[in-house]
């Protein structure tokens, strides 16, 4: 009977967990839809802004703004975007492991690598390994706003302009679908100059009012902020997609576990009843004798 009570208690516990995982799945599904709407709105804007910046910068030259100036990359700043909460599968662990490998492989390439971390999971990962963090941003992905993007962009741009680092990269999970997030490393700045004209066609230039340099001075900070805002939205959508998938898998596993425990409980009950019947029959036979 003690074993039977333990099985019933285990079934009750698994059912309670199942209710939690099912609720978390539904919440993440609702948040994912909103996050996808934000991504669909941010991607075209970021893409078009990049085209405009590239076109103007290519004609103005690398001397038009410090963010376009390429110098020998001896000091790297790496921004790692993770979540504040867990229970989202390999969303955080896959990214942090990729960053850890990156640091190990490029340690000899750069004289210094400075870490900026978004999210508690990333902060805790690097703290446990005693890897210094220049600055951490917590509670960002819970309610992403342009203010967050401006704050992070201001820190990174300020450090680059002060020549505290020569190159800035960002590591994040790019959202593909609810079941697919890809770890990406992107170079933020110095911004590479690319030709804006198509092959075989003459490039068309424009009259600028005010000058190209003044336009770039306004556009480039907005471009960096828009890029960071898009990355934060990608991470939010990826987190909810990963959590929804993980909770769906946990719910399905709990159904299978309850079925196995129920079968085990029925067998235990059957064994108990059989034992009791055997004892009754044995007692009756003893009385006859």
Active site residues: 88
Q: CB neighbours of 201 closer than 8 A, spacing ≥ 6?
A: none
């Amino acid at each position: 009977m003690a074993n039977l009570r333990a099985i019933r208690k285990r079934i009750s516990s698994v059912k309670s967990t199942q209710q939690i995982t099912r609720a978390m799945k539904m919440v993440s599904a609702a948040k994912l839809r909103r996050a996808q709407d934000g991504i669909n709105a941010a991607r075209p804007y970021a893409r078009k802004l990049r085209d405009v910046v590239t076109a103007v910068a290519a004609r103005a030259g690398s001397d038009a703004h410090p963010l376009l100036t390429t110098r020998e990359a001896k000091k790297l700043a790496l921004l790692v975007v993770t979540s504040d909460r867990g229970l989202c599968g390999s969303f955080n662990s896959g990214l942090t492991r990729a960053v850890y490998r990156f640091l190990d492989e490029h340690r000899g390439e750069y004289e210094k690598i400075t870490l900026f971390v978004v999210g508690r999971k990333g902060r805790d990962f690097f703290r446990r390994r005693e890897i210094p963090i220049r600055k951490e941003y917590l509670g960002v992905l819970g309610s992403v706003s342009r203010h967050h993007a401006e704050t992070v962009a201001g820190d990174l741009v300020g450090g680059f302009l002060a020549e505290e680092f020569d190159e800035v990269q960002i590591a994040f999970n790019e959202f593909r679908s609810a079941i697919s997030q890809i770890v990406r490393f992107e170079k933020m700045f110095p911004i590479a100059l690319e030709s804006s004209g198509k092959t075989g066609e003459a490039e068309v230039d424009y009259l600028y009012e005010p000058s190209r340099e003044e336009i770039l001075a306004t556009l480039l900070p907005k471009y960096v902020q828009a890029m960071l805002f898009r990355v934060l939205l990608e991470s939010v959508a990826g987190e909810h997609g990963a959590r929804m998938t993980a909770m769906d898998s946990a719910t399905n596993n709990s159904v299978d576990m309850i079925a196995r425990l129920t079968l085990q409980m029925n067998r235990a009950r059957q064994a108990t009843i059989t034992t009791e019947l055997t004892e009754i029959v044995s007692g009756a036979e003893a009385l006859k004798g």
